[in-house]
Structure 1
Amino acid sequence: MSELKRPRVLAIAEAANPEWVSVPLVGWSLASALREVADVHIVTQIRNREAFLRAGLAEGADFTAIDSETYARPMWKLAEKLRMGEGKGWTMVQAINALSYPHFERLVWQRFGDGIRNGDWDVVHRITPLSPTISSSLAGHCASAGVPFVLGPLNGGVPWPKGFDAERRREKEWLSYLRSAYKLMPGRGATLAQASAILVGSRHTESEIPARHRDKTLYLPENGIDPARFNRVAAPAPGVLRACFVGRLVPYKGPDMLLEAAAPLLRDGRMTLDMIGDGPMMADLVAQAEALGAAKAVTFHGWKEHRDVQDIMAGCHLLSFPSIREFGGGVVLEAMALGVVPLIVDYAGPGELVVPGTGLKVPCGTRAEIVRGFAGALEALADDPSSLPAMAETARARVQSHFTWPRKAEQVARVYDWLIAGKPAPKPAFF
C-alpha cells in the first residue's frame, strides 16, 4: 500500500462483533485490522452497535449502525424455527439470510449512495456475509459510480464427504442437498461480474467462481489470529502425549471418532485428552469414554471463555481435530499460533491451512478409515514424539508470517492498491 495516501474504504460488515465468535468475529477482526492500513468507516447492523461502542469506536466517525430489524428480526426467528435445533440446519439459516440481507444493503445505499457517487470513497469492500450464496446490489451501484467494489472473503458450502449421510441428517442439513441451486439465483452473476475483486477463503469456493471471473479472484483464507488474544506458547508437561479437541460437540466435528481412535492409548495411560466445548453430544461422549474404559484420561471441560481456551490448549502437544466439514478452521490456526501441532482430516479448510511441516493430516475417507488414520497417527506420536517440537515451531512461524490480522490487512491493502491504480490483480495469490 502506498505510504503517501491511505485509501478511503467503506467497509460493509453486516455481521461484525468483537464479543461473539464465528462469522461476526471474523467480520469485526478484519474490518478493525484494516483501520491500520486505510481510512475505514465500518457499516454494520444495529445489533452490533453496543459492542462497537464498548470497543471504543465512535459512532458516526468510525462506524454506522444500520437498523434493518424490520426484516432481519422476523426472518431470524423464522430461521431458528426451521433449523430444528440449536446449532443445526446451518444451510437453512443461510437461505433465510439470503432473503433478508438485501434489505440491509438497500438501507446502506440510501445512507451512503450519495457519498459513493460523489467520490467520498476509493473502495467499497463487503466483508460479510461470508456466504458465496448472497448477492449484492451494492456491486452494481458501485460499478455505475466507477468505485471499485471488493467482495469477500467468501467461503462455505463445502460438500459433505461420502459416507457421512447419517451425520448430515443429524445436523438437519436437508437443504444442503439443494445448495448448488444458489448458482441460478437472480443477482449472483451480476454481483460477480460487477465486483472489481473477489476474495475467496477456500479453494472449494474458488472452484465455484466461473472461469471468466478468475482473473480477479484471489485466495485469502478468512480466519486470522489476534496476537492479543492468542499470545501464549505451549509448554506441555513432560511424559505422556497430551492432546485436546476444541469445538462444538456435534456429529460433523467427529469427537466420537476421536474417542474411538484414542481409546487404547487413553486406557493404557499413554495419552490424555482435553475435550473443550459443549453441545448435544456431550452426554453420549461421556458415556462413550466410560464404555471404552478411557474416562480417567479424558477431561470434559464444557464451554469455556475464549481467553480460557488457550490456557488449556497451551498444556497440550496436539490438537486432535477429526472434523469432516470445516469451511475455515479457525481453531486450527489458534492451535498453530500457540505451538500446538494440529492433527486433522485432510479436507476443506483445515486441509488447506496445514501445510507440510506444520501439522499432520489423515486422508478423508469413511468413518472407519478416519478412525484408523487417527489411531495410527496418535500411536506413532505416543511412541516417538520427537517430531512435535519442530512442527510446533514451524506452525507458529507460519501463523506469524501469514495469518495474524495485521498481516491479512496488509494483504487486502495490496488489493486496494492495484484497484485504485487500475493495475492487474497481483499474481500469484498471497499463499
Structure 2
Amino acid sequence: MSANPTPKRPRVLVIAEAANPEWVSVPLVGWSLAHALRDVANVHLVTQIRNQEAIERAGFVEGEDFTAIDTEYLAARAHKIAEKVRMGSNRGWTTVRLIENLIYPAFERKVWAQFKDQITSGGFDIVHRVTPLTPTVNSLLARKCKRAGVPFVMGPLNGGVPWPREFREAQVREREWLSFVRSVYQLNPARTRSLGNASAIIVGSRHTQSEIPKRFQDKVVYIPENAISRDRFAISTPPKAGDVMRGCFIGRLVPYKGADMAIKAAAPLMKEKRFALDVIGDGPELEPLKALAAELGVTEQVTFHGWVAHEDVQSVARQSQLFIFPSVREFGGGVVLEAMALGLVPVICDYAGPGELVGGDTGYKIEMGTREQVIERLQTQLSEICDAPEQLAEKSAAALDKVEQFFTWPAKANQVRDVYDWVLTNAAKPNPLKHHVSTLTGGDHTQIETHVPYTVSS
C-alpha cells in the first residue's frame, strides 16, 4: 500500500453493472451506494445501458456523472435462456445468477476499453466494483488495475447462504438445484486471482467472509450491503399500540420466506382478537396463504395487501408495532432495516442476514429448527410480547438509533470511505461495524461467528 496522503476527495471509478434508482434489490443497492459515495468522493459511475434513462431522471448527466455501457445484446439473450432453464418465474435464482455470470466479463472488457487510458494515467485514485454483489463473479479488472498501480476494491460481496437442513423441501420447491453444488465456484483459479489482485474486499455477511481463503482475510472488511434511504423510508416512531397488537410481514410470498409460519404462530392470538397481521407482498403462495387463514379461522384478522409499490409500503407498515419475518434464507435482509427505520420491532429467524442485523436490544430472534419448531417458538415469543407490550418501546427506540448510526446510505458511504483511506495510506484497517457487532455478540467481535458452522476457507 502507498504511504502517500489520502486525497481530500479521492477520485473513484465506481463500477455497478446493476444500478437503478427505480428498481429494487441489487440494482437499488448499486445505485444507492454509488449515489451516496458522491458525498465523500469524486465519483464517476459506470453501469449497464438499461439503467441510463432512470439515472438521467435522477439528475445524473451522461458522460459527466456516469457512463452507460451497452452489452444488452448479450443480457437479453441470457435472460431468455434463464427464463427457460429456471422452469418458472421467480424461482431458480442460482441458475439465473450462473447464466448472468457467464456474460458479465464482456461488460468489464468494455469498461476497460473505455477507461484504460484514464486508469493507467492516474485519472482515478481507486476503482471500486460495487455490483455484481455475488462473490461468484470474478473480475478481469482487478489484475489490470494492480498493474496500473491503482487500488481495486470489491464489494460488498454477499450471497450463497446455505439452506437450513430443516428446509430442504423449500429448497427443492424453489428449484434451487444448483445451490447444492454452488461451492464449486471456490475452485475457480480466476477467483483466486481476483481476490489476490484486489486491495480490499468488502463483505456483506459473515458467511461470505467465511468463503474468503485465509490468506486473503487481511484484506476483508465487514460492511452489510443494505442501508436505508431517508427519502424512501422516513425514520420515525410508529403509532402506539392499541388494544390489538399489530404485526406485518413484507416479502415475496414463497415457501422459504415463512409467511405461513407467521400466520400459524399468530393464529391463537388472532382468534382471541389480541393480534392482527398485515401481509404485504405477492407470489405463488398468495392463494394458499388465504386458504390457510380461512382454515385457521382468522380471515378477518389477516389482511392480504398483495403487491405494494416500494415507496408506499411504509404507509401500511407504520400501522404495526412488530415486523414478523421468519424467513429462513436471507442474504442481506434489507427489509428488516426498513422495518426498523419505521420503528417496528423485528421478530426474525436467527439465521444469516437478519440475524446479523438484529440484536437482543433491537428485536427478537427465533432459534432455527424445523418448520414446526419455528412456528412453536414464534408463537411463544408473540404471546410473551402481547402479555407485556410495554417492552417494545425501548427496543423500537434502539432499532431507530441503530439504523441512524450504522445503516443509512450516508453512514454506509462514510464506512466505505474509511476503506478508501485504508488502501490509499498506511492508516489502520477499519472496523466500521465494531460497536454494532458487539451488541449482537455481547462483546468485541473480531472472529467469524455465525449461526451455522461456517469455517474460513483454507
1:15-57 superposed Cα distances (whole Å, 9 cap, x missing partner):
0000000000000000000011100000000000000011010
Whether the aligned pair in 1 keeps the contact of 2:6 and 2:424 (CA below 8 Å) is no
1:196-247 superposed Cα distances (whole Å, 9 cap, x missing partner):
0000000000000001111110100000001111114311451111000000
Which of 318, 323, 329 aligns to 2:322? It is: 318
1:298-331 superposed Cα distances (whole Å, 9 cap, x missing partner):
0000010112111111110100000000000001
The alignment partner of 2:63 has SS state of coil
Which of 180, 188, 192 aligns to 1:189? It is: 192
Residue aligning to 1:411: 415
Whether the aligned pair in 2 keeps the contact of 1:218 and 1:429 (CA below 8 Å) is no
1:121-176 superposed Cα distances (whole Å, 9 cap, x missing partner):
00000000000000000101101101000000000000000121110111010111
Which of 13, 30, 41 aligns to 1:27? It is: 30
Q: Within 5 Å, give how 1:200-215 maps onto structure 2.
A: 200-215=203-218
Whether the aligned pair in 1 keeps the contact of 2:119 and 2:148 (CA below 8 Å) is yes
One-letter amino acid matched to 2:374: I
Instruction: Supply the distance in 1 between the matched residues of 2:306 and 2:286 (Cα, whole angstroms).
Output: 8
Change (3 A) 1:260 1:427: closer
1:261-320 superposed Cα distances (whole Å, 9 cap, x missing partner):
111111111100000000000000000000000111000000101121111111101000
One-letter amino acid matched to 1:170: R
Residue aligning to 1:298: 302
Whether the aligned pair in 2 keeps the contact of 1:124 and 1:148 (CA below 8 Å) is yes
Does residue 96 of structure 1 match 2:99?
yes
Instruction: Supply the distance in 2 between the matched residues of 1:289 and 1:152 (Cα, whole angstroms).
Output: 42
Residue aligning to 1:356: 360
Residue aligning to 2:342: 338
Distance apart, 1:427 and its partner CA: 4.4
Instruction: Supply the distance in 2 between the matched residues of 1:109 and 1:356 (Cα, whole angstroms).
Output: 46
Which of 271, 289, 297 aligns to 1:267? It is: 271
Residue aligning to 1:69: 72
The alignment partner of 1:336 has SS state of helix
One-letter amino acid matched to 2:49: I
Distance apart, 1:86 and its partner CA: 1.3
Instruction: Supply the distance in 2 between the matched residues of 1:117 and 1:335 (Cα, whole angstroms).
Output: 44
One-letter amino acid matched to 1:208: E
Does residue 377 of structure 1 match 2:407?
no
Does residue 87 of structure 1 match 2:90?
yes
Whether the aligned pair in 1 keeps the contact of 2:33 and 2:413 (CA below 8 Å) is yes
Q: Structure 1 residues 84-93 or 8-17, which shifts more?
A: 84-93
The alignment's TM-score, normalised by the length of structure 2, stands at 0.92
Q: Within 5 Å, give how 1:192-271 maps onto structure 2.
A: 192-231=195-234, 232-271=236-275
Does residue 388 of structure 1 match 2:392?
yes
The alignment partner of 1:356 has SS state of coil
Whether the aligned pair in 1 keeps the contact of 2:406 and 2:433 (CA below 8 Å) is no
Whether the aligned pair in 1 keeps the contact of 2:163 and 2:171 (CA below 8 Å) is yes
Instruction: Supply the distance in 2 between the matched residues of 1:35 and 1:164 (Cα, whole angstroms).
Output: 42
Whether the aligned pair in 2 keeps the contact of 1:236 and 1:242 (CA below 8 Å) is no
Whether the aligned pair in 2 keeps the contact of 1:43 and 1:64 (CA below 8 Å) is yes
Instruction: Supply the distance in 1 between the matched residues of 2:186 and 2:159 (Cα, whole angstroms).
Output: 13
Distance apart, 1:4 and its partner CA: 6.6
The alignment partner of 2:166 has SS state of coil
Whether the aligned pair in 1 keeps the contact of 2:241 and 2:321 (CA below 8 Å) is no
Unpaired runs of at least 5, structure 1: none
Q: Structure 1 residues 76-85 or 192-201, which shifts more?
A: 76-85
The alignment partner of 1:44 has SS state of strand
One-letter amino acid matched to 2:140: S
Instruction: Supply the distance in 1 between the matched residues of 2:227 and 2:307 (Cα, whole angstroms).
Output: 21
Aligned-pair RMSD on alpha carbons? 1.2
The alignment partner of 2:165 has SS state of coil
The alignment partner of 1:233 has SS state of coil
Does residue 78 of structure 1 match 2:81?
yes
Does residue 136 of structure 1 match 2:108?
no
Residue aligning to 1:146: 149
One-letter amino acid matched to 1:347: Y
The alignment partner of 1:147 has SS state of coil
Distance apart, 1:422 and its partner CA: 4.2
Distance apart, 1:80 and its partner CA: 1.6
The alignment partner of 1:9 has SS state of strand
Residue aligning to 1:157: 160
Whether the aligned pair in 2 keeps the contact of 1:341 and 1:358 (CA below 8 Å) is yes
Distance apart, 1:185 and its partner CA: 2.0
Residue aligning to 1:121: 124
Instruction: Supply the distance in 1 between the matched residues of 2:418 and 2:175 (Cα, whole angstroms).
Output: 40
Does residue 279 of structure 1 match 2:293?
no
Instruction: Supply the distance in 2 between the matched residues of 1:410 and 1:96 (Cα, whole angstroms).
Output: 34
One-letter amino acid matched to 2:417: A
Instruction: Supply the distance in 2 between the matched residues of 1:24 and 1:83 (Cα, whole angstroms).
Output: 21
The alignment's TM-score, normalised by the length of structure 1, stands at 0.98
One-letter amino acid matched to 2:178: L
Change (3 A) 1:236 1:311: farther
Does residue 366 of structure 1 match 2:370?
yes
Whether the aligned pair in 2 keeps the contact of 1:236 and 1:314 (CA below 8 Å) is no
Unpaired runs of at least 5, structure 2: 437-458
